[in-house]
Amino acid sequence: MYHAQLRVFHAVARHGGFSRAAERLHLTQPAVSDQVGKLERMFGVRLFDRHRRAVKLTPLGEELFRITRRLFELEDEAVELLRESQALRRGRLKMAADAPLHLIGLIGRFRQEFPGISVSLAIGNSAKVLASLFDYSADIGILANAPADDRLLRIPLRSDPLVAFVARDHPWAGRGSVSLRELSAQPLVMREEGSITRQLIEEEFRRLKITATVVMEAEGREAVCEAVAAGIGAGIISRPEFGEDPRLAVLDIEDCEKRMTESLLCLRERAGQRLIGAFWQLAARHAVREGEGEEI
């Protein structure tokens, strides 16, 4: 009974305005405004605050948008099921990762099997990756040391040690390893709050009851590497992320117990979707045994 009005409301909320919603729905703007107005009048509520050309969801509108997002996602799943003859010939897979290193190879394999599927990849820290899964802006996530959560399915991809790195002209550059206590006494360039790398090394410092000397925070691995190369301080990273950089020297951390375990994640409720499921099955075939570096 209210399906048409809810669909129009959802389009306005999703696309951020009546004009853009009208374009997507192939309707006139007055028709879109009329449908939303009918819904508001039927229930005596306000779903949008309208300010000249700008519209903003009210708190009630935000709650309704969360519901319609699930509603029309289920509708899309039903349509997808009825179009099995076209399954996985076209579509878009949205991915989010804390680092692209362990994901690019899987994306390459997936595209070889399903060349009609396009892929988008957003990079952010662990908090952003989890948020994108829970708000449905990403279908698949890859995250280090993901928290236990019954809403998530996971495939462990690999587990790697943390290492320190310094500029090539640093006195430590010729050493093979360093202790956590030595590292804590050095000026450190640390990742931003929300980074798993930072969380793990801080847990190690707390375990040994030592305090780090952080001289700079930087968002992202590349920024940390540039700061370390400039001689600002030592950095910490998982071993596979270090890569090759002639300006930098890597050192094992002798007494570090924490490891960086990268896992592929998706929402349990969405695992049955054909596109997500296809990538999930491919990842399971090519997953790396935890800590071994050998493909299954």
For the whole model, what pTM was predicted?
0.57
Q: Report the alpha-carbon distance of residue 197 to residue 128 in Å, rounded.
A: 15
| Interval 252-283: pLDDT, tens | 999 999 998 889 999 999 988 888 989 998 98
- Highest mean predicted confidence (pLDDT) among 64-68, 81-85, 271-275: 64-68
Q: What pLDDT sits at residue 214? A: 92
Residues 6+ apart with CB under 8 A from 279: 93, 106, 110, 139, 140
pLDDT of residue 240: 82
Listed range (40-44, 99-103, 243-247) with the worst mean pLDDT: 99-103
Output the CA–CA distances (angstroms, integers) from residue 187 to 17, 125, 220, in the order listed. Answer: 49, 23, 18
Long-range contacts of 222-225 (CB under 8 A, 24+ apart): 224/189, 224/190, 224/191, 225/165
User: How many angstroms separate the Cα of 62 from the Cα of each of 12, 14, 72, 90?
Assistant: 12, 11, 15, 31
Delimit the domains of the chain by residue range.
Answer: 3-82, 91-157+261-286, 159-259
For residues 52 and 18, the answer to whether their CB atoms sit within 8 Å is no
Domain 3-82 shares a fold with domain 91-157+261-286? no
Q: Which helix (H) or strand (E) holds 92?
A: strand 91-97
* pLDDT at 60 exceeding the cut of 90: yes
Structure confidence at residue 290 (pLDDT)? 39
**Rounded Cα distance, 202 and 179, in Å:** 14
Task: Render pLDDT for 103-146 as a digit per residue (tens, 0 to 9).
Answer: 888 899 999 988 888 899 998 888 889 999 999 999 999 988 88
Q: Output the 3-class SS for 207-236.
A: HCCCCCEEEEEECCHHHHHHHHHCCCCEEE
Say if CB 128 and CB 95 are below 8 A apart.
no
Fold of 159-259: D-Maltodextrin-Binding Protein; domain 2 (3.40.190)
Identify the pLDDT of residue 81.
Answer: 66
Contact (CB, 8 A) for 19 and 52: no
The full DSSP string for 161-203 is EEEEEEETTSGGGG-SEE-HHHHHHSEEEEEPTT-HHHHHHHH
What CATH code would you report for 3-82? Answer: 1.10.10.10
Residue 266 region, left (φ>0) first, then alpha (ψ -120 to 50), else beta? beta
Q: Report DSSP state, residue 288.
A: B
pLDDT at residue number 158: 83
Q: Two tokens at 138? A: 């990403």
Going by pLDDT thresholds of 50, 70 and 90, the confidence category of residue 83 is: low
pLDDT in tens, 138-177: 999 998 888 889 999 999 888 889 999 999 999 999 899 9
Give pLDDT, residue 86: 54
Superfamily per CATH, domain 91-157+261-286:
Periplasmic binding protein-like II (3.40.190.10)
Look up tokens 């990538």; give the residue: 279
